[in-house]
Amino acid sequence: MIKEVSCGAITFSKRKFRFIKVLLIKQKNSHYFTFPKGHQEQGETHEQTAIRELKEETNIDINIIEGFKDKNTYSPYENCIKDVFYFCAEAKNINLEKQEAEIQKIGWYSIGIAILKLNYKKDKQMLKIAYKIFKNYKKNEK
């Protein structure tokens, strides 16, 4: 059995936006939106992988917000189990540059629109929880 690990972040921003927005991507050869993520490299922590993958796929630098780490386990193909770890994060910048080789579409979306665009129930649940954590983080930051 092959074991794979990927890490990503549910990334929020309020910079230059009237309301909080979340970053979604649509990968090439895919029909649905999701959160940026990618394979963990040897020697990396889950957090380091999420930070690197966000930068590679979107050109966004992030701060991981404590209090949220979720794991999604599934089988992408026969004889493979994949664990995907997600964090809640705040974007340090908002100018998106998609990784042309992997990403079809990228954007900042309101929470309501993001929930409509996300295909999987688990992604929608994670977004709702991470959004509450982000709002609380921003409230306590002031």
- Residue ranges per structural domain of the chain: 2-133
2-133 falls under which CATH superfamily?
Nucleoside Triphosphate Pyrophosphohydrolase (3.90.79.10)
Give the tens place of pLDDT for each residue, 12-61.
998 877 889 999 999 998 889 999 999 999 999 999 999 999 999 999 99
Mean pLDDT within 64-86: 94
Query: Residue 67 above 70 pLDDT?
Result: yes
Mean pLDDT within 61-84: 94
Query: Residue 123 above 80 pLDDT?
Result: yes
pTM for this prediction: 0.93
If one compares 127 and 17, the residue with the highest pLDDT of the two is 127
Q: How far apart are CA 104 and CA 121, in angstroms?
A: 22
85-105: b (≥16 Cβ within 10 Å) or e: bbbbbbbeeeebebbeeebee
Q: How far apart are CA 137 and CA 89, in angstroms?
A: 10
pLDDT of residue 139: 85
**What is the three-class DSSP state of 19?**
coil
pLDDT of residue 142: 60
Mean pLDDT within 125-140: 94
